Chain A
Amino acid sequence: MQRDKWLFEISPKNNLFDLNLKEVWQYRDLLMLFVKRDVVTLYKQTILGPLWYLIQPLFTSIIFTLVFNTIAGISTGQIPPFLFNLAGVTVWNYFKECLTATSDTFKTNEAIFGKVYFPRVIMPMSIVISNLLKFGIQLFIFICFYLYYYFNGYEITPNTYILFFPLLIIAMGMIGLGLGMIISSMVTKYRDLTFLVAFGVQLLMYLSAVMYPLDLMREKLGNVLGGKDLSWIVDLNPIAHLIEFSRFILLNDGDYSTFGIVYTTLFTIAVFFLGLLIFNKTEKTFIDTI
């Protein structure tokens, strides 16, 4: 009789699509405070501090340049190989950090989630946002090398599409967040996935054309083991498209396909919402199964 009079209701099953975004909005201050916490506490008790975020991509790029360009002899055209790799690594790192850090959200925050309620999705969201800082630092070092090569006579110019770069990063973050949320939801019950993520991310890096041009990869995969065409692996990998596209707008190198853009956009939206749905469904009872 007074069915609709209640302001709040806790019941076992929510509508699958009841994402409670209004509630997330109410907790926006918490989101910002978590981001602030991550930023403030990032370099506490380390000697090199933010330098760590420079060392990792620099050394990775050096190794890639040595292995893939010097030893294997892959050509990067006009672009200095080191800068080519650094661009790939920088963008890839943001995705990787987002994915790995969000993929064990439930496990690492078990203590706090078990004590108090707030929309759980705040946690992975704050990770993705605070990772932007690390990305910013890495982008800064990329720009430094960019200018260095530029003043040393290399013909590198960004593309006019550079305006789309923020969108590209948002897409990276959304895919990382979406996949991370799906994985973290499943990790609550099946811990096996943590092992899978660790080396799965590594494998994905090789399939995402981080250290070689996408065209080259597509071409080589087009004829594997006696004529089998495996180039679909590249075409179906949205991360490969994103990395290639970011190199296109940063270094004006390579190309993009309309298919790649449409496919990647759809994939991003799909995986993000799927992640939200699964995460939302898990957050209610994960504390019993973790």
Chain B
Amino acid sequence: MKDDIILKVENLSKQYRLGTVGTGTISHDFNRFLARIRGKEDPYLKIGESNDRASKSESEYVWALKDINFEVKRGEVLGIIGKNGAGKSTLLKILSKVTGPTTGTIKSNGRIASLLEVGTGFHPEMTGKENIFLNGAILGMTKKEIQAKLDEIVSFSGCERYIDTPVKRYSSGMKVRLAFAVAAHLEPDILVVDEVLAVGDAEFQKKAIGKMQDISNTDGRTVLFVSHDMGAIRSLCTKTIMLDDGLVYAKGQTDEIISEYLNKSISSQSAVLENSKYIEWIKVYNQESDNIPIINIGDELILRIKFTKKINIYGSIDYCFIGFENEDQRRVLSIATHMDRSFNGIFDSEKILECKIMNLNLIQGRYKLMLAIGSKNENIEINRDLIFIDIHDNNFYDNGFKINKNQGFILEKPKWRNIEVK
């Protein structure tokens, strides 16, 4: 049983000092030193606040991580999710020994290697082959190991022809491929992967994720994977940890944690799409006001979408598609500009696209929106889990009658009448 656990994180905390290093630093250092020679605790460890970026902090010290505890079993792929600033990167940095923890320990029964960024330490003046050796050695391989795998690495990278050319002559794509080829042939017991891997084109991402699946499935090695991409987490990870403000907010089966994360992190009313190329933001209104919308069954719903400048460059966008998903991840409504051909406008960064739904008759509950744009019946970009809309039941039938969720997805107020029998 206990042999199964390959990595154990105990009460791990990391404190950072805010602000700049200045004259205050030396006096704090001196106080610390005094405390230490008198055998007392570091006076600055007692203070410090949890890491909430948005609120203004009183203290100069902040806990980027606080009392993190978890265990990883051999062969498990553990996902780590959380919004920006939740402490994911700090955790990875400590795991990969780039920085030390303030308190707590990490115990492991295997070698940890990290892929925080591919191509670390590439020297532009050196040839591809020389860089394979250098990069491999930086990542912890011995010369022998690299020599044994050299052919494999070179063919995986697809750079055979350029292998004796200085790396500065490489295209950026080739550099990334060469670097990833080295990293992919690393054989640690525990691999720590940051989502920085996710830069690069779709093919590269696919290759990277495929390789990671191989590592855990066929080789039985443990992977810790940090990402914002819920799709990648869902397809790779068996268990997931969600960090929030430096604390473990939830841990457990991936699906449960992801839905918890989405419920907590995506907001209502508006969303700025940081990861989207073409869409800047989407906002929800009812009626024309800017107020926080309370949307009741049957209300009017207005969605406004602002595009980025890239959409003008792309040019030939034909449609914009919005899908509503209910809490069971089931699509309950699809609307798009091209369905009824009533939209004659253009997709342009200078213009906001507005979609007005006259009567939104969806049953009460929480709906997540997905937004896609496409050209010639093919989606160019799909953004899932953007924003949620809570639809409330505010006496839809005007008589207090309530309908429950088992009775359907859509509410309707039909006209009932008698037709005389002749």
Say yes or no: is A11 at the interface (Cβ < 8 Å to chain B).
yes
Closest chain A CB from B42 CB (angstroms): 10
List of A residues within 8 angstroms of B112 by Cβ: 8
Name A5-59 residues within 8 Å CB distance of B: 5-12, 26-27, 29-30, 32-34, 36-37, 40-41, 44-45
Q: A37-B123, A37-B126 are in contact. Are A287 and B108 (CB under 8 A)?
A: no
Is there a chain B Cβ closer than 8 Å to A196's Cβ? no
Contact B100 A285, beta carbon cutoff 8 Å? yes
Q: Which residue of A lies closest to B29 (CB)?
A: A189
Interface check A113, CB cutoff 8 A: yes
Known: A40-B125, A41-B123. A116 touches B106 (CB 8 A): no
Contact of A41 among B110, B116, B126 (CB under 8 A): B126
Q: Are B116 and A115 in contact (CB under 8 A)?
A: yes
Q: Does A2 contact B (CB under 8 A)?
A: yes
Say yes or no: is B109 at the interface (Cβ < 8 Å to chain A).
Answer: yes
- Check if A284 is an interface residue, CB within 8 A of chain B: yes
Instruction: List the B side residues contacting A114 at CB < 8 Å.
Output: 98
Report yes or no: B138 in contact with A112, Cβ–Cβ below 8 A: yes
Taking the nearest CB of chain A, how far is it from the CB of B339, in angstroms? 48
Q: Out of B96, B102, B104, which one reaches A116, CB within 8 Å?
A: B96
Are A30 and B138 within 8 A (Cβ)?
Answer: yes
Q: Which of B2, B94, B133, B142 contacts A10 (CB 8 A)?
A: B94
Beta-carbon contacts under 8 Å, B79-131 to A: 93-112, 114, 116-117, 120-121, 123, 125-126, 130
Is A118 among interface residues, defined by CB-CB distance under 8 A?
Answer: yes
Cβ contacts under 8 Å, A117 to chain B: 96-98, 114
In the complex, the answer to whether A12 meets B116 with C-beta atoms within 8 Å is no
Question: Knowing A11-B105, A288-B16 touch, does A116 contact B99 (C-beta < 8 A)?
Answer: no
- Beta-carbon contact of B107 and A12 below 8 Å: no
Chain B: number of interface residues, binned into ranges: 35 or more
Provide the bound-state CA to CA distance between A115 and B117, in Å. 7
Q: Which residues of B contact A5 (CB under 8 A)?
A: 109
**Minimum Cβ distance to chain A for residue B375 (Å):** 38
Establish whether residues B98 and A12, one from each chain, have CB atoms under 8 Å apart when the complex forms. no
User: CA–CA, A12 to B94, complex, Å?
Assistant: 10
Asked if B137 lies at the interface with its beta carbon under 8 angstroms from chain A, I say: yes
**CB-contacts of A250-267 with B (<8 A):** none
Cα(A235)–Cα(B29), bound, Å: 34
Q: Is the C-beta of B21 less than 8 angstroms from some C-beta in chain A?
A: yes
Please measure, in the bound complex, the distance between the C-alpha atom of A189 and the C-alpha atom of B17, giving whole angstroms.
Answer: 12
Tell me the nearest residue of chain B to A9, going by C-beta. Answer: B107
Q: Which of A266-290 contact B (CB under 8 A)?
A: 284-285, 287-289
B16: nearest residue on chain A (CB-CB)? Answer: A288
Distance in Å: Cβ of A11 to nearest Cβ of chain B = 4
Provide the residues of chain A in CB contact with B2, threshold 8 Å. 2
| Interface residue B197 (Cβ < 8 Å from any Cβ of A) | no
Look across to chain A and name the residue whose beta carbon is closest to the beta carbon of B134. A33
Residues on B with C-beta less than 8 A from A12 are: 100-105
B 140-184 binary contact with A (CB < 8 Å = 1; else 0): 101100000000000000000000000000000000000000000
A116 to B120, CA, bound (A): 8
Instruction: Report A170-202 residues with CB < 8 Å from chain B CB.
Output: 189-190
- Cα separation A123 to B102 with both chains bound (whole Å): 25
Does chain A have a CB within 8 A of B139?
yes
Contact B134 A37 (CB under 8 A): yes
A8 touches B126 (CB 8 A): no
- A37-B134, A116-B138 known; A9 vs B98 contact (CB < 8 Å): no
CA distance A145 to B143 in the complex (A): 41
Residues of A within 8 A of B114 (CB): 116-117
Residues of A close to B101: CB separation below 8 A = 10-12
- Quick one: which of A33, A45, A190, A289 contacts B133, CB cutoff 8 A? A33
Q: Is the CB of A115 within 8 A of B120?
A: yes
Residue among A29, A115, A118 making CB contact with B142, cutoff 8 Å: A29
CB closest chain-B residue, reference A30? B137
B238 at the binding interface (Cβ < 8 Å): no
Q: How far is the CA of A220 from the CA of B132 in the complex (A)?
A: 57
User: Which residue of chain B lies nearest to A12 when distances are taken between CB atoms in the complex?
Assistant: B101
Residue from the list B103, B109, B126, B134 in contact with A7, Cβ < 8 A? B109
Q: Please name the residue on chain A nearest to B109 by beta carbon.
A: A7
Which single member of A8, A32, A34 contacts B108 (CB below 8 Å)?
Answer: A8
User: Which residues 205-223 in B have Cβ within 8 Å of A in the complex?
Assistant: none
B25 at interface, CB cutoff 8 A: yes
Min CB distance A45 to B, Å, is 8
**CB-based contact B137/A29 at 8 Å:** yes
Asked whether, in the complex, the Cβ of B97 is within 8 Å of the Cβ of A10, the reply is yes
A26 and B139 alpha carbons, distance in the complex (Å): 12
A11→B143 CA distance, assembly (Å): 29
Flag if B98 contacts A287 (CB, 8 Å). Answer: yes
Within 8 A of A (CB), among B4-18: 8, 16-17
Asked whether B99 lies within 8 Å of A288 as measured between CB atoms, the reply is: yes
Chain B contacts of A118 at CB under 8 A? 138, 140
A37 to B25, CA, bound (A): 37
- CB distance A9 to B97 under 8 Å? no
**B116 CB contacts on chain A under 8 angstroms:** 115-116
Starting from the known contacts A116-B117, A117-B114, 15 additional A-B residue pairs (CB-CB under 8 Å) come to A6-B107, A9-B107, A9-B108, A10-B97, A11-B106, A26-B142, A29-B143, A33-B133, A115-B117, A115-B120, A116-B114, A117-B97, A189-B25, A287-B99, A288-B16
Binding site for A on B (CB under 8 A): 2, 8, 16-17, 21, 25-26, 29, 93-112, 114, 116-117, 120-121, 123, 125-126, 130, 133-134, 137-140, 142-143
Closest 5 CB pairs of A and B: A284-B100, A117-B97, A30-B137, A6-B107, A10-B106
List 8 A-B pairs, Cβ < 8 Å. A8-B108, A8-B109, A8-B111, A33-B134, A33-B137, A37-B130, A41-B123, A287-B99
* Chain A positions near chain B (C-beta within 8 angstroms): 2, 5-12, 26-27, 29-30, 32-34, 36-37, 40-41, 44-45, 111-118, 189-190, 284-285, 287-289
